[in-house]
Structure 1
Amino acid sequence: MRPLRIARRDGIALPAWAGVHPVLQRIYAARGIRDPDAIEHRLARLIPPQSLGGIDRACELLQEAIKENRHIVVVGDFDADGATGTAVALRGLRLLGAARVSYQVPNRFTHGYGLGPSLVDDLAPLAPDLIVTVDNGVAAHAGVAAAKARGIAVIVTDHHLPGDTLPAADAMVNPNLDGDAFPSKALAGVGVVFYLLLALRGRLRESGWFASGTSAARAEPDLGCLLDLVALGTVADLVPLDYNNRVLVEAGLRRIRAGKACAGIAALIDVAKRSAATLCASDLGYALGPRINAAGRLEDMRLGIECLLTDDASRARHLAETLSSINAERRDLQAQMVEQGEATIARFLARHGSDAFPVGVVLFEDDWHAGVIGLVASKLKERLHRPVIACAPAGDGSGDLKASGRSIAGFHLRDALAEVDARTPGLIGRYGGHAMAAGLSLPAARLHEFAAAFDAVARRRIDAELLDPVLHTDGELLPHEYDLDLARQLRLAGPWGQAFPEPLFDDEFAVADWRTMGATHLRLTLKHRAVAASLDAVMFGGYTGSAPPARMRAAFQLAIDDWNGRERLRLLIRHYEAAQGG
């Protein structure tokens, strides 16, 4: 396995953009932006909802349900995308006049993923007339059939990749269906349901639902009030931030910075010790999203959804504190499981050497928690730079395993599972996901068979250069660009995220001083050859038991330390190596 190396992105020289810092121009160019309009994230430039396939039929069913006062039950998912999508669906449908709306979310440990027959059975006391799935359903053949057998209509809203066949839903809205002409395939589940609400509002407007002077008169709602939730779910789900998603996320961030976040998001910001006024996408991804996700991983996602639905600030605070406590428990459990995985890897390498190490890695421990395996796979994928699938007992007495995988760029994980399934029918149970993440189930007795099959597919599909871990940077900064004002601009210039990465720079520094923070973090004082003042730097998780080199080449972000309300420039180091000759 090869060590991580730093490489600079190729930038493209552009004519000067008035009012845009030269460093930002270089960063945008390296991310493929050639037109200044592409950094103007105006809601008016969103792709029209009418271009999303299946949306007309879904709106027709929802319009009938609202006007005839039918009971609509939203079935979400147990991650942050599903939780925010569920909250958006409930809040939005109520704003549009639905009087009978409730929700249900599957329990990871009793129902499994998505709309399944057991969840449909548990919905019976609610007597739903219409089920609307959010962030699930594209593979729910049995669940949709069970609902239809009970006379319940089903609208599927999802963004996951479809299988060879689709469930017999009454309507299906998913930009990733074969033949769907919607230009952005990157919408998260929360984005799909938000688009459905936009289209439904238009249909209701045309029908006179909001017309003044009628018995059904009501004010047309501003669905922009839901954009803070859309932003949170989009960033937390790690979907690519293409232009359309950046518009949605930026609009949500503007609401939050203006003090207009819903009570739940405001409370989550507070317990995470972030500032609403300067909140950025990374705060959504690393501080708020994990707190919502923790509920579905270890407890019941209803805690997260209720936090996002309540308008009572004190209740939101109580729920946010509960979620924060669960998240702390999740972090501890995750650290233990990652340590176990690393020990297993070290034993394998000691016995067999790196040449025998799998390209597609499958790990299992009989005491691993099924709610945390995806995070373990993600951490180990980062360290190994190869696709990793982590497995845990299903815990339902079935003898099955639940598994969650994370991939590297260039290896489509969901397609790889499809190939394993085609080559060895019956080896995998249910599976689904995306290029970079997927989930599945399999019999525990066939774990070794699956591990060999997955590794074989990975070896066929992954070229050797894809296993070379590279950290791409935006090059070096000029001496005068180590500047607090530039750091402020970079913080708010995104939104940065998946497929639109945060600005990252690199250069060589002398280490004038260093010390540890806690057990694993580094605090450093660095000297740059052309910068007069010393530079404060921090690297979280950077202390491995030995001193950093006297001279280092570091990849870093230009960040802001706002401890005690005073802003100071700080370098946030992502990786370092000994400088040549250092």
Structure 2
Amino acid sequence: MQTEQAVSLIPTQNSIIRAFLDRRSLTMEDVAYLINPSENHQHDPFLLKGVGKWIDILHSLKGQPIAIIPDYDADGVLSGTLARVGLFLFGFGDVYLYPPKTCDGYGLSKKSVDNVLKAQPDTMAIITTDNGSNAHDGIRYAKEKGLMVLVTDHHLADTAPCADAVVNPNGHGDNTYPFTHISGTAVIYKTLTAYARKYIDCPHVWRDFRSLVLLVGISTVSDVMPFLNENRYYVTESVRMLTHFVNEYSVDRVCGYGDTPLHQYYRGVDLLVTTLQQNGKLKYGIDVDTFGFTIGPMLNSPRRMTGDSELAFRLFQSKRVDLLDEQRVLPSDELFAINEQRKAYVRSLTNALFSHVEGMQLYGKTPIDQMVFNARMNKGIAGLLSGNFTKRYGLPSIAFGVEITGIKGNQDEDDVINVDVPSGYLLTGSARSPESFDLHSFLTTIDEEHPGLIEKWGGHPQAAGISVLAENYDRFRDVFVSRFTAIMDEQLHQNQKEPETLSPFNGEYILTTDAYERLLPLGASTAPNSETVLLHGNHTVFTNQTLWEAVRFFEQLEPFGHGFPKPTFSVAIAMRDVPYIFNMGAGKQHVKLMLSNGLSVIHWNGAELFSRSEPVETDAQGNPAPDHRVFVVTGTLSINRFNGDESLQLIAEDVSELKM
């Protein structure tokens, strides 16, 4: 009822809100769900193809030794942990959870099967989480060893594996599930939910099992699933759950946990909370950024930096005695420290990559020519480097890692990017692409048209893992670039016109300023279908109630994220019109521009961009010459609340300097 009242109060006549709803094709029913997603919005798990067979086989294995083989990324850590705890709650005992290494190969491989049997020789069955749909060799090998294999996965798969049962909403022939964009952790959660609905009738078991939604929500964000449909419930409920962990935290509670898989899971969450609080990461509370920019990267950091995911899994398997050992470093502290190392390492590699790409333009090489590259780095970093390339240049990319021992600093960039690799070396890489580009379809075509060129690959429309022999690397790069170029040329030909000039005003809305009005007669173009919001002349942020209504409405729709981005606003800024500029941060690296219309524009790590080159010219009286630079800033609007006052601020995401 409260949600219905809230929706009824939304001023749909507001032009900004109306444009937003029309652009996203949202009904008021959609808005009601976005504002208040609930457990009832989950789809029936029995709509997953094969789930009935899967849970019946699982039930027949009760009392038998079972092992879980997860992926080694954050989604794998979370899904594997969820499977272990869920099976314990359902009476399967403490199931062995295998912590994979990247050198063993992705997911269920021959090596991982051998390692499982070495650790637990009497294993009768293997359950996979976040992998297995494409593990044809590994599954056949496990079957040869007499093992049963139950697969749960969410990766795209064309051919059904020879497992005893498979649950994958993106798998071969599964057209039954209404929303396929769920994480691997969500798949195992829904599969075990189906098991519980059929075989469990104990209320307290159901209560404990529902606490695992926290892991589903974190995985949804860390694995970049869209913030839509049932994912909205998982994410918002996870934020609520982790907030509860923070608010109810006490040392006595942490020390009071036992050593069951359920209590180890709770202990792991509390250890995370302890470490994040001690390092100042929770001073603004819990939100989706806590999952996407802090917890997810922490869980990913061990395998990225060392190739071994064991530390991340250990976080949720630590024992009570570990807390009593004052000399022992907590796994959460280790994860935080190694993630800080990872951030510095990636920052150094990214700087070297961008310097290399821009330096090659002097030789006529565009970023398109360099979409496929290798780097002397830990292979686990490849996806991050590829993602940074894609974000900067708006192009699909593949980064291949050339493995090194340890981390080398202060290297010349020519020794890092595009190194020579001897024949026989298997280059393993990660690919990323913009949302508008289907990477999976693109690689599928290359693989079909050039058999043998790619050794192995798999993934999503926007992300993939791929392996290529060093002797095929140059040819693969040429095929990738030439095919991409051909697609771009074909699209231009189909449009039968010259490509439109890209507008620096690429936000969904344009906040008008005096600078914007001066630019229009000079030919400044705006993005198609953009809406203008008057904020110049007699219109300011203090008087534009339409804008305030819209921003308050957007706050109700949080969280925004992948698949449901926050609306963007563009504003033209003539630096000579800016009355106040403040540099912020310990190193004065951030900048805040106070515009004359009352709007604040903040650019994190952007102080250097807006600073004037020294020395600044002066007139005869010693006054600095006017600053004639004009910038177009695009970002997101939010309300800054401080000491009871409210103001609107634009957080910059993209900045273009106009040459006037």
The TM-score with structure 1 as length reference comes to 0.84
1:415-494 maps to which residues of 2 (within 5 A)? 415-462=441-488, 463=491, 471-476=506-511, 479-480=541-542, 490=554, 493-494=557-558
266-275 or 194-203, larger mean C-alpha shift = 266-275
Specify the alignment match of 2:243 in structure 1. 257
Specify the alignment match of 2:384 in structure 1. 375
Shift of 1:18: 2.3
Specify the alignment match of 1:496 in structure 2. 560
Say if 1:266 and 1:276, in contact at 8 Å, map to a contact too: no
- Going from structure 1 to structure 2, the CA distance change for 1:400 and 1:196 (only over 3 Å counts) comes to same
- Do residues 302 (structure 1) and 310 (structure 2) align? yes
Specify the alignment match of 1:121 in structure 2. 114
Shift of 1:566: 11
- Going from structure 1 to structure 2, the CA distance change for 1:16 and 1:131 (only over 3 Å counts) comes to closer
Specify the alignment match of 1:328 in structure 2. 340
- Do residues 56 (structure 1) and 52 (structure 2) align? yes
- Going from structure 1 to structure 2, the CA distance change for 1:468 and 1:198 (only over 3 Å counts) comes to farther
1:564-575 maps to which residues of 2 (within 5 A)? 570-575=649-654
Say if 1:473 and 1:555, in contact at 8 Å, map to a contact too: no
- Do residues 85 (structure 1) and 79 (structure 2) align? yes
1:90-105 maps to which residues of 2 (within 5 A)? 90-105=84-99
Q: What is the root-mean-square deviation in Å for CA atoms of aligned residues?
A: 3.5
- Going from structure 1 to structure 2, the CA distance change for 1:238 and 1:219 (only over 3 Å counts) comes to closer
- Going from structure 1 to structure 2, the CA distance change for 1:184 and 1:264 (only over 3 Å counts) comes to farther
For residues 278 and 549 of structure 2, the distance between their equivalents in structure 1, rounded to whole angstroms, comes to: 27
Say if 2:45 and 2:190, in contact at 8 Å, map to a contact too: yes
Q: Which has the higher contact order (CA 8 A, sep 6+)?
A: 1
Specify the alignment match of 1:200 in structure 2. 195
Amino acid aligned to 1:107: K
- Do residues 157 (structure 1) and 152 (structure 2) align? yes
- Going from structure 1 to structure 2, the CA distance change for 1:479 and 1:58 (only over 3 Å counts) comes to same
For residues 365 and 556 of structure 2, the distance between their equivalents in structure 1, rounded to whole angstroms, comes to: 46
CA distances 1:391-435 after superposition (whole Å, capped 9, x unpaired): 122579961101111112332112222222212211111100111
Specify the alignment match of 2:632 in structure 1. 553
- Going from structure 1 to structure 2, the CA distance change for 1:410 and 1:431 (only over 3 Å counts) comes to same
Q: Work out the number of aligned pairs and report it.
A: 548
Say if 1:411 and 1:435, in contact at 8 Å, map to a contact too: yes
Shift of 1:573: 1.4
Uncovered stretches (5+) of structure 2, i.e. residues with no partner:
249-265, 406-421, 493-498, 512-532, 534-539, 614-626
For residues 243 and 550 of structure 2, the distance between their equivalents in structure 1, rounded to whole angstroms, comes to: 19
For residues 475 and 47 of structure 1, the distance between their equivalents in structure 2, rounded to whole angstroms, comes to: 39
Say if 1:520 and 1:543, in contact at 8 Å, map to a contact too: no
- Do residues 47 (structure 1) and 24 (structure 2) align? no
For residues 194 and 16 of structure 1, the distance between their equivalents in structure 2, rounded to whole angstroms, comes to: 31
1:162-561 maps to which residues of 2 (within 5 A)? 162-163=157-158, 165-180=159-174, 181-205=176-200, 210=202, 219-259=205-245, 262-267=269-274, 269-270=276-277, 273-275=280-282, 278-299=285-306, 300-310=308-318, 318-352=330-364, 354=366, 358=368, 361-365=371-375, 367-393=376-402, 399-462=425-488, 463=491, 471-476=506-511, 479-480=541-542, 490=554, 493-509=557-573, 510-511=577-578, 512-515=580-583, 517=585, 521-529=589-597, 531=598, 535=600, 537-540=602-605, 543-544=608-609, 546-547=611-612, 551-559=630-638
For residues 170 and 283 of structure 2, the distance between their equivalents in structure 1, rounded to whole angstroms, comes to: 34
For residues 37 and 449 of structure 1, the distance between their equivalents in structure 2, rounded to whole angstroms, comes to: 52
Shift of 1:459: 2.0
Shift of 1:28: 4.8
- Going from structure 1 to structure 2, the CA distance change for 1:254 and 1:484 (only over 3 Å counts) comes to farther
Shift of 1:372: 0.4
Q: In structure 1, which of residues 32, 37, 40 is the aligned counterpart of residue 25 of structure 2?
A: 32
- Give secondary structure in 1 for the equivalent of 2:107: coil
Shift of 1:522: 2.5
For residues 583 and 426 of structure 2, the distance between their equivalents in structure 1, rounded to whole angstroms, comes to: 47
CA distances 1:54-112 after superposition (whole Å, capped 9, x unpaired): 1111111221223xx1122111111111111111111111122221412113211x212
**Larger Rg computed on CA atoms:** 2
Q: In structure 1, which of residues 46, 61, 71 is the aligned counterpart of residue 65 of structure 2?
A: 71
For residues 146 and 303 of structure 1, the distance between their equivalents in structure 2, rounded to whole angstroms, comes to: 28
Specify the alignment match of 1:12 in structure 2. none
Amino acid aligned to 1:48: D
For residues 309 and 87 of structure 1, the distance between their equivalents in structure 2, rounded to whole angstroms, comes to: 9
Say if 1:385 and 1:469, in contact at 8 Å, map to a contact too: no
Shift of 1:228: 1.3
Say if 1:238 and 1:498, in contact at 8 Å, map to a contact too: yes
Uncovered stretches (5+) of structure 1, i.e. residues with no partner:
1-14, 212-217
- Do residues 18 (structure 1) and 8 (structure 2) align? yes
For residues 319 and 241 of structure 2, the distance between their equivalents in structure 1, rounded to whole angstroms, comes to: 16
Amino acid aligned to 1:305: F
Amino acid aligned to 2:280: K
Shift of 1:448: 0.6
Shift of 1:24: 6.1
CA distances 1:166-185 after superposition (whole Å, capped 9, x unpaired): 32101111001233110111
Percent identical: 24
- Give secondary structure in 1 for the equivalent of 2:608: coil
- Give secondary structure in 1 for the equivalent of 2:157: coil
- Going from structure 1 to structure 2, the CA distance change for 1:210 and 1:279 (only over 3 Å counts) comes to closer
- Going from structure 1 to structure 2, the CA distance change for 1:190 and 1:488 (only over 3 Å counts) comes to farther
Shift of 1:561: 6.7
Shift of 1:37: 3.1
Say if 2:584 and 2:590, in contact at 8 Å, map to a contact too: yes
Amino acid aligned to 1:54: G
- Do residues 576 (structure 1) and 566 (structure 2) align? no
- Give secondary structure in 1 for the equivalent of 2:155: coil
The TM-score with structure 2 as length reference comes to 0.75
438-447 or 121-130, larger mean C-alpha shift = 121-130
Specify the alignment match of 1:8 in structure 2. none
